[in-house]
Structures are given as C-alpha cells and as structure tokens.
Amino acid sequence: MKTAGWRSAFIYGCAVALCQPLAACGSAEAPAAKREGAETRAPIADDAPLVIAFGDSLYAGYQLGPKEGLAPQLQAALAADGVPARVQNAGVSGDTTAAGRQRLNFVLDNAKAKPALVLLGLGGNDMLRGIDADQTRANLDAMLAELKRRDIPVLLTGMVAAPNLGADYARKFNPIYAELAAKYDASLYPFILDDVVTDPSLMLGDHMHPNAKGVAVIAKGLAPLVEEQLPDSE
C-alpha cells in the first residue's frame, strides 16, 4: 500500500478503536438519511456487463440515499468513463465473512446474469468483533475459491486492524487481502477507505463510514480497476 494509504489506515484504525463498542460496521436497522440533489442517470442496457458489489455496510450505503451508495456511484463513474455496466448492490450492513460465505452462493445463483466481476469487501466486522484472523482468512479464501470455480473475476477491497487489537492481531489480519489476492490472481484495492478516512468532510459523524462525497472518492478509485476487468475494456 502506498504511504498515504498506510496513513489513512492508521487513522481509520484509531477511529475504529474509539467506536469498537458498536461491535459492527453499521446496522441493517439504521435509517437512511435523505439526501438532496441526486442526479438523474441514463438507463443501462439489460445486456450490459453485471458487476456485483458483495460486502458489508461500506458497500451497502449505510445512512445514505438510494443513489449515494457504492453500487450506484460506481455505476455512474463507469458510465462517465464510457463503460456501461450494471452494478448490483449486494452489501449487507453488519455482515461478517462467515455471514457473507453463507449467502454468496444464493446471490450468485439468483443473479440475472453471470457476473462479469464481483467486488468482494468483507472482514471489517470480523475485525471489530475481534474474530480470529484465521477464521477471516478461511472464509475469504472459501469465497474466492467459489468465485474461481465459477470463473468469475474478483476485485478484493481490503481492511486494516484497529491498533487496540494489538500487534499480533494486526500481523495476522492485515496481510490477508494481499496474500489472497495473489493466491487467486484477483485485483486488489488495498484499503477501501484510502484517501477518504483522513478527510472529515468525506466521513459520517461516526468516523467509520463514508458520506456520499466519500463514496464518490471510493468509486472514482475503484472505477479504473473495474474497467480493466470488464469485457471489451482496454
């Protein structure tokens, strides 16, 4: 990870340490805040490549409007680059890697088409709950193995351990994403909140989740990696 990324990761880790009693990265019951000024997007063709964003509250659009989460903003960023794709929101607030592993096949089996790409972003809630990093690794490994079995490319988005969990936990947790990306030849975005968590104007008041502007930064960072994986992209 680049130097700025490590700084972002450290600051996020400190914020997570302060908020860790919440014990989950968002809640499925949290109300969505209303937002103004949502832009009208051109319709995407039914046969456009399907991208599934499979993750936790950072993917689900915690406390954001229906057009402000990662899936709609990434779809808009791709369209702005002339790359039409349908981005499906498969984020569930509070999901651990174990929960994601349980629902992955259901999401894939019920998709309207075979995904051209799956964004996989889980592990933050494992970290918040202090779940053994070996379990996190095993669950992510199993999901990546299933996606490889189905011949579906993956873009893995990483997370970092909070400092208060200790150096031993960090040594086991932090390398998981890069090592699994290498093992499965997956594309990697090392830290999902890179260039976002260091700017309070891009974060919600909980200091753990991005606001709509922060999600836009994430989508802009992810878009080139997504475009590389889509059919007919150069």
Q: The CATH number of the domain where 121 resides is what?
A: 3.40.50.1110
Residues with Cβ within 8 Å of 224's Cβ and at least 6 positions away in sequence, in order, are none
CA distance 25 to 123: 10
What's the pLDDT score for residue 9? 58
pLDDT in the model for residue 46? 83
The reported pLDDT for the residue numbered 22 is 40
User: Does 188 fall in a domain?
Assistant: yes
The burial class, CB within 10 Å (0-12 / 13-18 / 19+), for 98 is middle
- Which regions in the chain score pLDDT beneath 70? 1-42, 233-234
| Model confidence, pTM | 0.85
Could you read off the pLDDT of 131-166 as tens digits, one per residue?
Answer: 999 999 999 999 999 999 999 999 999 999 988 999
- Residue at 36 is within a domain: no
Query: What is the domain range of residue 10?
Result: 3-21+49-229
Classify residue 35: in a domain, yes or no. Answer: no
Residue 28 counted as domain residue: no
Q: Are 135 and 101 in contact (CB under 8 A)?
A: no
Answer whether residue 41 is part of any domain: no
14 found inside a domain: yes
Active-site amino acid positions: 57, 206, 209
Establish if 34 belongs to a structural domain. Answer: no
Q: What is the pLDDT of residue 112?
A: 95
Q: How many domains does the chain have?
A: 1
